[in-house]
Structure 1
Amino acid sequence: MSDQDVLNLIKQADKAISAEDFEALMEFYADDAVLVVKPGQIAKGKPQIRKAFEAIAKHFKNALTVSQGEAQVIESADTTLVIMETHLHIGDEIKPVTRRATYVFRRDPIYGWLCTVDNSYGTDLLDDR
Structure 2
Amino acid sequence: MSSHPLKALIEAADRAIGAEDFDALMEFYAEDATLVVKPGLIASGKEQIRRAFVAIAEYFDHSIVVTQGDMQVIEGADTALVVMETVLQTSGKDDMPASITRRATYVFRRDTSGKWLCVIDNSYGTDLLNS
Deviation at 1:110, TM superposition (A): 2.8
Q: Distance in 1 between matches of 2:111 and 2:18?
A: 26
**Cα RMSD, aligned residues only:** 1.7
Q: Which moved more, 1:106-115 or 1:5-14?
A: 106-115
Match of 1:26 in 2: 26
Q: Which moved more, 1:88-97 or 1:8-17?
A: 88-97
Map of 1:116-127 to 2, 5 A cutoff? 116-127=119-130
- Over the matched positions of the two proteins, sequence identity in percent amounts to 61
Which one-letter code corresponds to 1:107 in the other structure?
R
Q: Distance in 2 between matches of 1:5 and 1:23?
A: 21
Deviation at 1:95, TM superposition (A): 5.5
Q: Is the 8 A contact 1:38 1:121 kept in 2?
A: yes
Q: Give the TM-score of the pair, scaled to structure 1.
A: 0.93
Which one-letter code corresponds to 2:88 in the other structure?
L
Measured against aligned partners, the alpha-carbon deviations of 1:75-102 in whole angstroms (never above 9, x if no partner) come to 0020000000000001279862000000
Q: Distance in 2 between matches of 1:99 and 1:117?
A: 16
SS across alignment from 1:13: helix
Match of 2:117 in 1: 114
Aligned residues: 127
